Structure 1
Amino acid sequence: IQYNNTLGICDARSICEYLVSPNGSVAISGNPSNCSTKEQIEDACAAHCLVEGIVFTSQSEIDDYQINYPDCNSIEGDVTIMGADIENLNGLSNLISIWGNLTISQNPLLPSLVSLNNLDLIGGDLIITGNENLISFSGMSYINSIYGNLEIIGNNIASLNGLYNLESVWGDLIIKQNPLLVDLEELGNLIYIAGNLDIGINASMTSLNGLESITNIGGSVEIYENALSSIDGLQGIASTGENLVLSGISDIVDLSSLNSDLSIGANITISSNPNLLNLEGLENINHINGTLSIENNLSLISLSGIGYWVSIGENLSIAHNPELANLQGLNYVFGVGGDLTVFDNQSLDDISGLHNISNIGGLLSIHENGSLTSLSGLGNINPGSIIGLSIFNNGLLTTCDVQSICDYLASPNGTIEVYNNYTGCNSPEEVEAACVSQCLPNGITFMTQEQIDDFQTDYPDCTEIEGDVEIEGNTITNLDGLINIQLIDGELEIHDNNQLSSLLGLASLSSINGSISIHNNPQLSNINGLNSITNIDGHLFVSYNQNLVNFSGLVSLTTIDYSFNVSFNDALIDFNGLYNLISIGNLFTIDSNPALEDMTGLNQLENVGGSLTFFNNTSLANMSGLESLTSVGSNLYIEDNPLLASVTALSGITEIGNMLYISNNDAIASLSGLDSIQPNSITDLTITNNETLSTCHVQSICDYLISPNGTILIENNAPGCNTQTEVYDACWVKVNEASAIENKIQIFPNPAKNTITILNPSKVEIKEVIIYSPSGSVILQKKSAVNTIDISKLQPGLYFVEVKTEMGNVRRKLIVE
C-alpha cells in the first residue's frame, strides 16, 4: 500500500487479519498519517473491538460504554441505538469508526448526534429513523463517504445540518417521511450515489437544492409527494442506471430543470403531478430502455418537450390525463417494444402524433377516450408487430379503418376486442367493412396533367387518401382535378413541376398527417390553396421555388410540429401569409434567400423548438417580424448575412438551448436585441468576423462571460468587440458607470477579511448577491435581502461581487485579505 496521497484509513478487517499472519510480502509507505507504516496500521487494528456489534437500549448503556469497553473506539460490527430514555450520546464520543451498520432509531428524547463528532468512518448503512426530537445531524461532519445506504426516515429534523462534508453514498440515499425537512442544502458536496435516490413524502420540502453536484445515480431517481415548487437541484444528474420517477409533485409546471443530456437506464414515470403542463426538459433523450408512463397529470395539455425519442424499449402508456388534447410531441418515436396504451384521456381528440411508430411488440389498446373520433396516426404500425387489439368504450370513435388495423383484422396475431365505440367502429365487422372502402392506402404519384384531371373519375368518392401524395411532372399546370381531396394521411410532396403556377386545386384539403415539401416549382409565386391547413404534423420544406414571393395561402397555419426549412427561393421577400404561426417544433432554417429583406409575417411566432438559423441571406437587413419570439430550443445561428444591420427584433428571446453563433455579418454594429437571453441557457459563445461589430457588451453576453457554461470565441470584429477581454472590459464600464451610479450601491470594507456590508442608501430592493472567483465560478450566493455577508471562509485574493437589484445589476471587485 504505497503513495496514495489521500488514503487515511487502512485498518479494514482483511488488512488487519493479513498483517497478523501474512502469506507474502508487506510494503506500506508514502501514505498519509495513520496509514504510512505497517506499525501504524497494526495500532489501528489493535483498537478494533465488538466484532458481533452492540445494541444500546438505554441511557445508562451509553454512559457506561467507555467503562465497559475501554479503548474501544473502532467497532467491527453493527451498532444499534434504540432506547426510550436515551437523551444524549456523550458516552460514545471516543468512537472513530464503525465498520458495520449504524442504526439510530426510535429514540424519542434524542435531540442531537453531536457527541459522534469524532466518527469518520461508517462501513455499512447509516439508518436514522423515527427520532421525533432529533433536530440536527451535527456530529456527522467528518463523514465524507457512507459505504452502504443512507436512510433518513420519519424524523422531525428541519435540515440536514452536519452532513455537509458527505461526498459519496455507495448504496441508496433514502430521505422520506420527515415532515419538517425543508431542503437538502447541506448535501451540497455530494457527488455520487451508487444505488437509488429516493426522496418522498416530506410534507415541508419545497426545494431539492443541495443535489446540484450529483452527476451519476447508479440506480433509480424517485421524487414523490413532497411540497416542491420545482425540481431545481436535479440539473447535474446526467445519467441514472435505472428509473426516473417524478410523481405527486404539486407545483411543477414543466421538467426544464432536468439535465439537457440526461440518460435513463430503464423506465420513466411522470404521474400525479397536478399542475404539470408539458414535458419540456426531456428534449435530448433519444431512447428509453424500459417503459414510458405518463399518467394522472390533471393539467397536462401538451407532450411538447419529448424531442427526438427514437424508441421506447418496453411499454408506452398515456392514461388519465383529462386535459390532454393531442399526442404531438411523440412525433419522433419510431418504435415501442411492448404495449401501446392510450386510456382515459377525456379531452384527447387527436392521436396523429403517433404516426411515425412503425412497430410495437405487444397489445395495441385504445379505450375510455371520450373525445377521440379517429385512429388516424396509427396507420404506419406493422400489423405483424401487434400482439393483440383492444378498442373499446370510446364513445365518439367512428374511424378505425387505418391501414394497420385493417391489415391486423385480416390476419390477426392475437386477441381482438372492438366494442362500445361509435357507429363505424363498434365491432370488428364494422371496421372490416370500412376497410374495404379505403382510398389509396399505399399513396399515389401524379406525373402528368392527365392523371390530375382524371383523378375524380378514376377514384370516385376518394376524399381522404390514406397514403402519401407526390406531384411531379413537367406537363402539370394546375391541380384542379384534386379539388375533392380533404385529407392526406401521409406526406405531400410537390416538386419539379416546371409549369405549375397554382395550388388552388388543393383548396378543400384541411388536414395532412405528415410533412409537406414544396421544391423546385419555378412558376409558383404563392401557396394559395393550402388555406385550410392549421397544423403540419411533420416538416415543412420550401426550397428552390424561383418565383415564390411570400407564403400567402398558409394564413390558417398555427403550428409546425417538426422543422421549417426555407432555402434558395430567389424571389422570396418576406413571410407574409404566416400571420397565425405560433410554434415550430424543431429547426427553423432560413438559408440563401437572396431577396429576403426581413421576417415580416411571423409576428405571432413565439417558440422555435430546435435551432434558429439565418445563413447567407444577402438582402436581409433586420429581423423585423420576430418580435413575439421568446424561446429557441437549440442554437441561435446568424452567419453570412452581409446587409444585416440590426437584431433588435429578437429582444423578446429569453432563452436558447445551445450555442449563440454570430459570424461574417459585415453590416452589424451592435448586438442590442439579444439582451434578454438568460446566460445560463447559452452553452457556447462564438462572435467572429463581423467587421463593423463594436458593441457586444449587452447584458446576456456580459453575464455569460462572468460565468460561462462552455467555450468562448470572440475575434476579428471591430474594436470594442475584437477580443473576449475587450467585451469583458466594456461590460464592467457599462455596469460601473450606469448601474452603480443609478443605484449608489457600494461594498464596504474593501479590502475585507471577515465580513462585507452592502451599502444601499437609495433603498432599492436587493434580490441576490453572488461572489465569483476570477474564473467565473460561483463561490458564494445569497438569494434573500442581505446587508452583511460572512466572507471569513474565503481564501485571500481577488473576487467579483454581483448585486442583483430591482433596478439592475451592479458588479464590484473585492479583495479578500
Structure 2
Amino acid sequence: MNLRAITFGVCLILLMHKANAQCGETGTTLLIETEASLLELAGCDTIYGSLHIHQWDISDVDALSSLQFVEGDLILEENISLLNIEGLSALTHIGGNLELISNFTLASLNGLQNLVYVGGDLRLDGNITLEEIDALSGVTHVGGDIRVMENHVLQNLHGLSGISAVEGNLILNEQNLILNSLQGLSNVTSVGGALFISLPALLSLDGLQNLTWVGGDLEIRDMVLLANVNPLESLISIGGTLTIAQNSSMVHINGLYSLESVGQNLSIHNNTALGTCCGVLPVIEEDGVFGTVMLNLNGNGCNTIEEIALDCAELIGEHSLPELTVVVNQHQKHVRVTCTEDGVYRLWSADGRIHETGKVNKGEQQIIQLPSAGIFGVTMVTQDVALTRKVAIL
C-alpha cells in the first residue's frame, strides 16, 4: 500500500469521526441553544445520544430535514418563537423520550407524520397554542408514560389513535382547558401504570370503551360536566386505587359493572349529585377490593355500602341465591334462563340500558338472544326477590 492510499484512508477516517461527532455521541446530550449550532446538524440522519433544542428565537427546525433516528431523547423546550417542526418529516424512530414543553407559538405537530416509535415517554406539556396532535397518528409504540398537560387550546387526542397499550402512566390534567374528547384513545386496551383524568370540558369518557386493565391507580376527578362512566364497561381490573372524586354532575357509575378487582383502595367522595353506585356493588360484595372502601360526601345512596346495597336491591339482587340459572352459549350468542319461581326477566347491558323484558314460568327454560358481544346482566324479578347474574359474550 503506497503512502498516498494510507494518507487518503486516514483522512477519510478523520472526516467520518468529525461527521459522527457533529451528530452526537452515545450517552451524551447535544444542547442546541443557537441557530448556528442547529445548522451544524444539517445532514445528520442519526443523532447518537440525545438532542435538546432550547432556543429563544428559533422559528423552525428545517436543518434537521435528514434526521431519521434519535438514539436517546428528543426534547424541544421553551422555544418561544417556534412556529413549526416540519423539518422533522424524515424522523421515524426515537429511542428515548419525546418531549415538547412550553413551545408557546407551536400550533400543530405537523412534521412528525412518519414517526412510528417512541421508546420512552411522550410528554406534551405547556404548549399553550397547540391545537391538535394529528401528526402523531402513525405512532404505534410508546414505551413509557404519556403525559398531556397544560395545553390550553388542545381540542382532542386523535393523534394517539395508533396506540393500543400504554406501557406507563397516562396523565391528562385539568389545564387542558378545552380538551373535550378522548376518542383518540379508542384502541387502548391497557394502561400499565396509573390513569389520571381531570379535564374540565369533558362530557363523556367515550374513547375508553376498549380499556380492560389499569395496572396502577385510576383517578377520575374534578370534571364538572361528566355525568357517568358508561364507556368503562369493559374495565375488569385496577391494580392500584380507584378514586372518583369531585365530579359535581356525575349521577351514576353503573358503567363499572364489569369490574372484578381493585388491588388497593376504592374511594368515591365529594360527588354531590351521585346517587346511584350500583356499578361498584359487585366488586365490593365479592371481596374484589383488596384495600379499604371509602364512601363519603356523595348524594344520597352512595355514602355507605349499606346505602348502595339497599338502593340497588331491585337491579342487582342477591348474587348468592341459587334460584336463577343462566347458561351462556357463546357460539349462538344467547343465554338459557331458568328459575325455580315464576318471574319477569330483564336483559340489561353494563351501561344500564334495558334491551329485553319477558316472562319466565317456574321450571321452564327461556332463550334470550344477546344483541352483541359484551357484558350483560339478567335480572329475574319474582314475587319476593330480584335475582341477577352477569354474563360475558366474547
TM-score range, shorter chain: 0.7 to 0.9
Tell me the equivalent position of 1:390.
294
> Among 92, 98, 104, which residue is 1:197 paired with?
98
Verify: 1:279 aligned to 2:182, yes or no.
yes
Measured after TM superposition, the shift of residue 234 of structure 1 is 0.7
What percentage of residue pairs aligned between the two structures are identical?
Answer: 25
Query: What is the aligned residue count?
Result: 349
Q: Partner of 1:281: helix, strand, or coil?
A: helix
Tell me the equivalent position of 1:222.
123
Are residues 442 and 39 of structure 1, via their aligned partners in 2, closer, same or farther at CA, if it must alter by over 3 Å?
A: farther
Report the Cα distance in structure 2 between the residues aligned to 1:167 and 1:309, rounded to whole angstroms.
33
Report the Cα distance in structure 2 between the residues aligned to 1:470 and 1:513, rounded to whole angstroms.
21
Tell me the equivalent position of 1:300.
202
Measured after TM superposition, the shift of residue 219 of structure 1 is 0.1
Correspondence list, 1:745-784, <5 A: none
Report the Cα distance in structure 1 between the residues aligned to 2:150 and 2:100, rounded to whole angstroms.
12
CA deviation vs aligned residue, 1:731-757 (integer Å, no higher than 9, x gap): xxxxxxxxxxxxxxxxxxxxxxxxxxx
Tell me the equivalent position of 1:541.
370
Residue identity matched to 1:389 = V
Correspondence list, 1:200-349, <5 A: 200-226=101-127, 227-272=129-174, 273-295=176-198, 297-349=199-251
Report the Cα distance in structure 1 between the residues aligned to 2:351 and 2:208, rounded to whole angstroms.
22
Greater share of helix = 2
Verify: 1:178 aligned to 2:58, yes or no.
no
Name stretches of at least 5 consecutive residues in structure 2 with no aligned partner.
Answer: 326-334, 361-367, 377-394
Contact 2:296 2:302 in 1 (8 A): no
Report the Cα distance in structure 1 between the residues aligned to 2:147 and 2:45, rounded to whole angstroms.
27
Report the Cα distance in structure 2 between the residues aligned to 1:225 and 1:378, rounded to whole angstroms.
36
Report the Cα distance in structure 2 between the residues aligned to 1:475 and 1:442, rounded to whole angstroms.
16
Are residues 254 and 443 of structure 1, via their aligned partners in 2, closer, same or farther at CA, if it must alter by over 3 Å?
A: farther
* Cα RMSD for the two superposed structures: 3.8
Contact 2:148 2:173 in 1 (8 A): yes
Verify: 1:440 aligned to 2:318, yes or no.
yes
Q: Partner of 2:370: helix, strand, or coil?
A: strand
Residue identity matched to 1:387 = G
Tell me the equivalent position of 1:126.
30
Measured after TM superposition, the shift of residue 514 of structure 1 is 7.1
Report the Cα distance in structure 1 between the residues aligned to 2:31 and 2:351, rounded to whole angstroms.
59
Residue identity matched to 2:132 = S
Contact 2:323 2:339 in 1 (8 A): no
Report the Cα distance in structure 2 between the residues aligned to 1:231 and 1:184, rounded to whole angstroms.
12
Correspondence list, 1:719-734, <5 A: none
Are residues 140 and 492 of structure 1, via their aligned partners in 2, closer, same or farther at CA, if it must alter by over 3 Å?
A: closer
Measured after TM superposition, the shift of residue 217 of structure 1 is 0.4
Name stretches of at least 5 consecutive residues in structure 1 with no aligned partner.
Answer: 1-36, 48-72, 76-95, 100-118, 407-423, 426-430, 448-468, 494-510, 522-538, 544-560, 565-817
Residue identity matched to 1:183 = N
Contact 1:445 1:470 in 2 (8 A): no
Report the Cα distance in structure 1 between the residues aligned to 2:52 and 2:282, rounded to whole angstroms.
48
Q: Partner of 2:196: helix, strand, or coil?
A: strand
Contact 1:309 1:330 in 2 (8 A): yes
Q: Partner of 2:99: helix, strand, or coil?
A: strand
Q: Partner of 1:186: helix, strand, or coil?
A: helix
Tell me the equivalent position of 2:380.
none
TM-score (norm 2): 0.77
Report the Cα distance in structure 2 between the residues aligned to 1:329 and 1:349, rounded to whole angstroms.
15
Tell me the equivalent position of 2:65.
164
Measured after TM superposition, the shift of residue 368 of structure 1 is 1.4
Question: Which one has more relative contact order, counting CA pairs under 8 Å at least 6 apart?
Answer: 2
Report the Cα distance in structure 2 between the residues aligned to 1:540 and 1:369, rounded to whole angstroms.
37
Q: Partner of 2:278: helix, strand, or coil?
A: coil
Contact 2:254 2:351 in 1 (8 A): no
Verify: 1:513 aligned to 2:352, yes or no.
yes
Residue identity matched to 1:289 = G
Report the Cα distance in structure 1 between the residues aligned to 2:20 and 2:336, rounded to whole angstroms.
74
Measured after TM superposition, the shift of residue 228 of structure 1 is 1.3
Contact 2:189 2:212 in 1 (8 A): yes
Tell me the equivalent position of 1:104.
none
Tell me the equivalent position of 2:329.
none
Measured after TM superposition, the shift of residue 513 of structure 1 is 3.4
Measured after TM superposition, the shift of residue 122 of structure 1 is 2.5
Are residues 182 and 436 of structure 1, via their aligned partners in 2, closer, same or farther at CA, if it must alter by over 3 Å?
A: closer
Are residues 239 and 436 of structure 1, via their aligned partners in 2, closer, same or farther at CA, if it must alter by over 3 Å?
A: closer
Contact 1:185 1:209 in 2 (8 A): yes
Contact 1:375 1:400 in 2 (8 A): no
CA deviation vs aligned residue, 1:106-163 (integer Å, no higher than 9, x gap): xxxxxxxxxxxxx5x322422013x5xx499434321111111110124211111211
CA deviation vs aligned residue, 1:414-449 (integer Å, no higher than 9, x gap): xxxxxxxxxx58xxxxx8x999999534467569xx
Contact 2:148 2:172 in 1 (8 A): yes
Are residues 439 and 218 of structure 1, via their aligned partners in 2, closer, same or farther at CA, if it must alter by over 3 Å?
A: closer
Greater share of strand = 2
**Structure ID, larger Rg:** 1
Tell me the equivalent position of 1:97.
19
